[in-house]
Amino acid sequence: AARGYRTVFTSASPNSTAAPSSWVPPLATSVTIAVNVAVGVAQFVWFDARTLRDYTMCPALVVDARQYYRVVTSAYLHGGALHLGVNMLSLRSIGPALEYRLGTCALLSWIGLATVLSGACHAAL
């Protein structure tokens, strides 16, 4: 039988939200980490200061110039390798349990909602 993430949890109690440490993260967690790392590598290797300036959060440009894309793009840019690493380690630590409890689509929805709401709140300040 194929080993899906639900079958891996059969050894845990039905009410457990903790994923075994040797377990591979489920889809939403893995995809989110992969996208962030890919953007991070591109940012550190290829992006110059002008490119970063074009995609980071600038509330005045979001509101006045209607550059709404900045709300999302700024969520995937990081201040350095340590910033990216700590965020991805944190996601790797709690993502599998959240995805197991919420489901893949719900977790992706929450990540998307949190991205938009945090950027909108920042722009509103």
The closest of 54, 75, 55, 65 to 119, measured between CA atoms, is: 75
CA distance 23 to 96: 9
**Does the pLDDT value for residue 72 go beyond 60?**
yes
Cα 4 vs. chain centroid, distance in angstroms?
A: 22
pLDDT of 125 reads: 80
| E-state strands within the chain | none
Mean pLDDT, residues 21-43: 86
User: How much is the pTM?
Assistant: 0.73
Helical residues (DSSP H) of the chain, grouped into ranges:
5-8, 27-45, 49-55, 59-63, 69-73, 81-102, 104-124
